[in-house]
Amino acid sequence: DVKVTQSSRYLVKRTGEKVFLECVQDMDHENMFWYRQDPGLGLRLIYFSYDVKMKEKGDIPEGYSVSREKKERFSLILESASTNQTSMYLCASRGRPEGGGYTFGSGTRLTVV
Amino acid sequence: QKEVEQNSGPLSVPEGAIASLNCTYSDRGSQSFFWYRQYSGKSPELIMFIYSNGDKEDGRFTAQLNKASQYVSLLIRDSQPSDSATYLCAVNVWGSNYKLTFGKGTLLTVNP
């Protein structure tokens, strides 16, 4: 079964820390995405990548960066964590050609204290 | 701004009834349409996708697409309490680099 794996299910970090969220997919998908999901705001796209070392900003990139050194791995970095970054973070991947939607990881619930 | 609109609900139906979930989208360049189910505290899982006008059936689920009216719907027949979840509509616009635009979801509650 195809899988998108996020390294942590729950994470608690302190304000100002640098936080790394890891996502690995085993489907050889070119496209990978990071979203955050907050009550009442829905899914908001932070960054996405359509190829190794390629990245594009989504709708809310401020305070975040990403890294994609290998096709299967897409990392989200919170440069200096703040309490307003407390959220559910979801990684997703999608292949080419178009043949279905995203496959999501199980999510990381991040709390910044 | 490409938008996908859903009624937030909650939509409450009795067990065994048909649940009807609706979604409208603003971009006429939209090409493919997806329905995801998300249980509380879990990540979204794909239920169905549809590309062409008309109906597509998969078990108890039917997706309906009307591109002229710019809406897509999901019907759930013989609703079960286990169908209680938030349903997300997502749209892929041509040229959007494989990104999906999501609605905020409709909360469905199926009462035993």
pLDDT-based confidence at A47, cuts 50/70/90? very high
Q: CB B46 to CB A56 under 8 A?
A: no
Mean pLDDT across B18-31: 92
To the nearest whole number, what is the mean pLDDT of chain A? Answer: 93
Whether A98 shows a pLDDT value over 60: the answer reads no
Q: Of B56 and A99, which is predicted with more confidence? A: B56
CB-based contact A94 B32, cutoff 8 Å = no
- pLDDT at site A96: 67
Residue type, A99: G
Q: What letters, b where the CB count within 10 A reaches 16 and e where it falls short, cover B97-106?
A: ebbbbbbbbb
Looking at the partner chain, which of A40, A100, A107 has a beta carbon nearest the beta carbon of B46?
A100
Top pLDDT among A3 and A14 is at A14
Which residues does chain A have within 8 Å of residue B98's beta carbon, measured at their own beta carbons? 31, 50, 94, 96, 98
pLDDT of A97? 58
Q: With 70 as the cut, is the pLDDT of residue A30 above it?
A: yes
- The answer to whether A31 touches A49, Cβ cutoff 8 Å, is yes
Chain A interface, Cβ < 8 Å to B: 31, 33, 40-43, 45, 48, 50, 56, 58, 90, 94, 96, 98, 100-107
pLDDT tens track for B44-89: 999 999 988 999 999 999 999 999 999 999 999 999 999 999 999 9
What pLDDT score does B95 carry?
73
pLDDT exceeds cutoff 80 at A35: yes
Query: What integer pLDDT is reported at residue B96 of this predicted model?
Result: 73
* Cβ–Cβ below 8 Å for A104 and B44: yes
B57-95 in b/e burial notation, b at 16+ Cβ within 10 A? eeeebbbbbebeebbbbbbbeebeeebbbbbbbbbbbee
* pLDDT number for residue B52: 87
B31 token code pair: 């090409």
Give the pLDDT confidence score for residue B7 in this predicted structure.
87
Instruction: Please name the member of B34, B49, B98 whose beta carbon is closest to the beta carbon of A50.
Output: B98
- Interface contact B1, partner A, CB < 8 A: no
SS (H, E, C) chain A: CCCEEECCCEEEECCCCCEEEEEEECCCCCEEEEEEEECCCEEEEEEEEEECCEEEECCCCCCEEEEEEECCEEEEEECCCCHHHCEEEEEEEECCCCCCCCEECCCEEEEEC
Question: Are A104 and B45 in contact, with CB atoms under 8 Å apart?
Answer: yes
- CA A59 from chain center: how many Å? 13
The average pLDDT across B16-36 equals: 93
- Is the predicted pLDDT of residue A1 greater than 80, yes or no? no
Residue A99: pLDDT above 70? no
* Residue that the structure tokens 């469905």 belong to: B108
> Of B84, B104, B37, which is closest to residue A37 (Cα–Cα)?
B104
Separation between Cα atoms, residue B69 and residue B79, nearest integer Å: 27
pLDDT of residue A43: 94
* List of chain A residues whose C-beta atoms are within 8 Å of the C-beta of residue B88: 42-43
